[in-house]
Amino acid sequence: MTNSVESAWDALKCVYDPELYLDIVSLGLVYDIREKNGGVSVDMTLTTEGCPASESLSEAARMAISERLGEAVEVEVNVVWDPPWSPALIDKEAAAALGFKIR
C-alpha cells in the first residue's frame, strides 16, 4: 500500500457518522482507496440510500483526506451502492459498541 493510500485510510478513521457516532472505516462504509492520476480515489457507501448525511459524510471524507495529504492532491470520493452496506461489514469493536452480537 502506498503512503498516500495509507494516510487516506488513517484520515478516514477520524470521520464519524453523525448518527452512529463511530468512524466510517470501522463501520465498513469505506470499500476502497487507491491512487488515481496522482491523486486519491475513494469508494464508499452509506448505511442507506436515503441517509440524511449523504452529502455531508462524503464531503467530510474528502476534506479529511485533503487535510492529511495537502490541498494540492486531488481527492475524489465516490458514493457507491454495490455492494450494499450491511451490519456484517462493521468491525468487531464497533459492533460491540453498537450492542451487536459479535459472531
pLDDT given at position 50: 83
Q: Which fold has domain 3-81?
A: GMP Synthetase; Chain A, domain 3 (3.30.300)
Q: Where are the domains of the chain?
A: 3-81
> Average per-residue pLDDT in the chain?
91
In tens, the pLDDT along 77-92 reads 999 999 999 988 999 9
Residue 27 vs residues 12, 20, 88, 90, 99: alpha-carbon distances, Å = 11, 9, 9, 4, 13
Nearest to 39 by CA among 77, 14, 76, 79: 76
Q: At residue 68, does pLDDT exceed 90?
A: yes
In tens, the pLDDT along 34-61 reads 999 999 999 999 988 887 777 799 999 9
Mean pLDDT of 2-14: 94
Q: At residue 24, does pLDDT exceed 80?
A: yes
